[in-house]
Structure 1
Amino acid sequence: MDRLPRRLSVDLAPFKAENGPHATRYGLPEAVRFCTRCVISNQRPNSAPEFATKADSLKTTIRFDAEGVCDACRAAEVKAKTDWSQREKELRDLCDRHRRQDGRYDCLVPGSGGKDSFYAAHILKYKYGMHPLTVTWAPHIHTDWGWRNFQNWIHAGFDNILSTPNGKVHRLLTRLALEVLFHPFQPFILGQKSIAPKMSVLYNIPLVFYGENEAEYGNPVDDNTSAKRDWTYFTAPDPAAIHLSGVSVKDLKARFGIEDNDLAPYLPADPAAMQRTGTEVHYLGYYLKWHPQSCYYYSVEHGNFEASPERTPGTYSKYNSIDDRVDDLHYYTTHVKFGIGRATYDAAQEIRSGDITRDEGVALVKRYDGEFPERFFSQLMDYVSLPAEQFPEAARMFEQPILDRAYFNHLADRFRSPHLWAYENGAWRLRKTVWDRLG
């Protein structure tokens, strides 16, 4: 692996041309379309195993049908027709099969103490009589209110194992994920998706509950027909093919001074060990009708959940994904790479849930999507900077180990796709938006 350069030239010519076709990146569809029911575009990448992602990986994207309706909206239709009383019976049967009466934990609930994980753990314990162990993969940098919500979760009656990775390694992987993939949230996702299956093996607790299925947000609608999460999200058949932050494990060890034990928390779970344990990873949202706003109200009522004291940058909400300061930066990067920011994700979900209309969603996206993540930006640049005295080996792999705003903005421009972005009069604009076209 070569040294990461300070600046690579960005050819602006493709971004200035008005007439297509325009070059596309990441395997995205060239023709940008918007769902006729919500505000999501066909550029939304589907969830995929993060440990297989490289700089040149191509994305599969949300599917639109012949009527211009996205898979997530079709999943919402199916959800509205589901017999939830029958699904709850299936949940009770599942709990009855796994419930332990000897004082041991009988299920695992991963989460941060946010509205969704609070709801899941609390209802499993207090309504269905389970004995959950909650497990948390630590955020990069807790927000103050996120930390208080985490404490409120525990004090609502739960044991918790907080897994905090090596701080120096986490900073380095976050910097690499930003530099190589423009995906600074990936190191968190790597641990968050695999921690519960690993703990299942370690503590011999076969039953694991995550919240809602990714199909509710745009993964193939057929994925929602199963209660169980596909093992491909948290296991890897070929360890040699694993990439973390877009870099091979081999290069991480040879070029960045990272050792095997440093990488262990990020690596996928061992499928053979999971089979011996009998690990089953279920979506609670398969059994109970999942509604994020209801989870919020439930967590406020039963656990004093605290919304952010201010609107989250890039969107209009104050209670969704608020525990990690890197969240703001993460959603800004999705806006740069895919033309989809945080307001789009929030509004699309609320339209499908019947909480707002499409017209309201369009207005909210127009007002807030792509807002620069100003509030924590300086702290985040310090976090992903790698001073040579702290990172003597890794810092040599970067021409500019210390990040600043100019470097970040240039990096962002390197990840833009010409089919999404135009450059005019010294400024960037999206070529197509949900508010200037119908569907």
Structure 2
Amino acid sequence: MSEKSKLEKVEVKYGLPSEVKFCTKCTISNQRPSSVVEFKNRPNDIKPTIEFDDDGVCSACRFAEIKESKIDWKIREQELIELCAKHRSKDGSYDCIVPGSGGKDSVFASHILKYKYRMNPLTVTWAPHKYTDIGWRNMQSWIHAGFDNILVSPNGTVHRILTRLAFENLVHPFQPFIIGQRMIAPRFSAMYNIPLIFYGENQAEYGNNIKENDRPTMDPVFYSEKPDLSKLYLGGVSAQQLIDDYGVDKRDLNPYLPVDGERLQKNGTEVHYLSYYIKWDPQECYYYAAENVGFQANTERTEGSYSKYSSIDDRIDPLHYYTTFIKFGIGRATYDSAQEIRCGKITRDEGVALVHKFDHEFPSKYIKEILEYMEITEERFWEIIDNARSPHLWIEENGVWKLRHQVAY
């Protein structure tokens, strides 16, 4: 029996492809999960979306080629100039919203909008679960570089419950943060009557449907639905179940819920991706933020990767990427190296070596306090982790878990 035939008989979780393929240009695999509408996620709702062509090249790498050769960035910038002119305030009021944590991307976006394109952004932040020291310092540097900011810290009791449930049911402890982060800007757009919102890059840059890059705006379905509570899921359970079984007050769920679509439509709310107008390069965003705002990289590399400047503000971040490694065989070094290969910062061979060295690394630095935060024992933690391993990706040999497939040179 062929290896492919054997694997077809192995259980495949999460709706993933049974045959594992790696891009021939970067380090990503076809197991990459989509960035779907997070508040709909139930345990089996995760689907891969990255596509590979006949040459074995992923859609993210193909779009990187399009960015270099087929997009006229001068024309795109002129579209941005005209958009800003349409919304720019004449009385000193806020004329756009930039959500972010004070990381390199939100710092870059807000600074270039204010100081190059003469906008007056209101920055809004959905607080991390637990700020890192460097994350908090960068947040303060951002504000003191000349920006008004509203920091929203969600109800601690509810956020802990949702984070624990998201880990237990979805092995996705970052889900409550992602939901809040997505909803905060549209919510403030409606509250303050500021129609224009700027996010950084579209996730299509990294493998979501490549056609999404043809439009500058986010589909309103991502933030403005008004579903039945029994059909809206948070942490893998329905919102109604949270109220009935977990003692969560309906009022306390408000920050996680989609914004009233009719209200947003009346307000004229539009969520734009700055990456549509400006060629997006995360490392160049870091250099810009460091030079103009005093953004600092960490003094040590992030666990699970070699990077020191990306996603360094939340202590739960390393665990989040470790769970993607467990569920999809894709860890933080894979994400970081794939992106840097596409941007021409490292070669594929360098990326493969970095993945082999760091992808599997366990995030030990903050794990004790994160487990205490979620009120989960170490024994329960490993039970959840090992149950999350899809048999088509993992095999246990002599009590040691090993990936069946790894990216090769």
TM norm structure 2: 0.97
Question: Which residue of the other structure, out of 60, 65, 68, is the alignment partner of 2:53?
Answer: 65
| Distance of 2:228 and 2:153 partners within structure 1 | 23
Q: Does 1:427 align with 2:400?
A: yes
Higher relative contact order (CA 8 A, sep 6+): 1
* Equivalent position amino acid for 1:254 in 2: D
| Distance of 2:92 and 2:84 partners within structure 1 | 15
Question: Is this contact kept in 2: 1:28–1:61, CA < 8 A?
Answer: no
Instruction: Give per-residue Cα distances to partners, 1:19-49, cap 9 Å, x unaligned.
Output: 6531101100000000010000000011100
| Distance of 2:15 and 2:6 partners within structure 1 | 21
* Equivalent position amino acid for 2:145 in 1: A
| Distance of 2:172 and 2:34 partners within structure 1 | 14
Structure 2, unaligned runs of 5 or more: none
| Distance of 1:32 and 1:229 partners within structure 2 | 30
Instruction: Give the aligned partner of residue 198 of structure 2.
Output: 209
Instruction: Give the aligned partner of residue 144 of structure 2.
Output: 155
Q: SS of the counterpart of 1:364? A: helix
| Distance of 1:226 and 1:244 partners within structure 2 | 29
Structure 1, unaligned runs of 5 or more: 1-16, 386-402
Instruction: Give the aligned partner of residue 415 of structure 1.
Output: 388
Q: 1:236: how far off?
A: 2.0
Instruction: Give the aligned partner of residue 308 of structure 2.
Output: 318
* Equivalent position amino acid for 1:275 in 2: Q
Q: 1:57: how far off?
A: 1.7
Question: Is this contact kept in 1: 2:7–2:18, CA < 8 A?
Answer: no
54 and 217 in structure 1: CA distance in 2 versus 1, 3 angstrom threshold: same
Instruction: Give the aligned partner of residue 379 of structure 2.
Output: 406
TM norm structure 1: 0.90
| Distance of 2:274 and 2:137 partners within structure 1 | 25
Question: Which residue of the other structure, out of 340, 343, 348, is the alignment partner of 2:338?
Answer: 348
* Equivalent position amino acid for 2:382 in 1: N
Q: Does 1:105 align with 2:94?
A: yes
Q: 1:306: how far off?
A: 1.2
* Equivalent position amino acid for 2:94 in 1: Y
Q: 1:234: how far off?
A: 1.3
Q: 1:132: how far off?
A: 0.3
Instruction: Give per-residue Cα distances to partners, 1:95-137, cap 9 Å, x unaligned.
Output: 0000011121000000001000000000000000000000000
| Distance of 2:369 and 2:48 partners within structure 1 | 33
Superposed CA RMSD in Å reads: 1.2
Query: Structure 1: which 4+ aligned runs deviate by more than 6 Å?
Result: none
Question: Which residue of the other structure, out of 255, 258, 261, is the alignment partner of 2:251?
Answer: 261
Q: Does 1:366 align with 2:356?
A: yes
Question: Is this contact kept in 1: 2:33–2:46, CA < 8 A?
Answer: no
Q: 1:366: how far off?
A: 0.2
Q: SS of the counterpart of 1:333? A: helix
| Distance of 1:232 and 1:340 partners within structure 2 | 27
Instruction: Give the aligned partner of residue 56 of structure 1.
Output: 44
Q: 1:58: how far off?
A: 4.2
Question: Which residue of the other structure, out of 145, 165, 168, is the alignment partner of 2:154?
Answer: 165
Q: SS of the counterpart of 2:395? A: strand
Question: Is this contact kept in 2: 1:114–1:323, CA < 8 A?
Answer: yes
Question: Is this contact kept in 2: 1:236–1:242, CA < 8 A?
Answer: no
Question: Is this contact kept in 2: 1:34–1:42, CA < 8 A?
Answer: yes
Q: SS of the counterpart of 1:162? A: strand
| Distance of 1:142 and 1:113 partners within structure 2 | 11
* Equivalent position amino acid for 1:30 in 2: S
| Distance of 2:355 and 2:309 partners within structure 1 | 17
Give the total of aligned pairs: 403
Question: Is this contact kept in 1: 2:216–2:273, CA < 8 A?
Answer: yes
Q: 1:268: how far off?
A: 1.1
* Equivalent position amino acid for 1:74 in 2: R
Q: SS of the counterpart of 2:266? A: helix
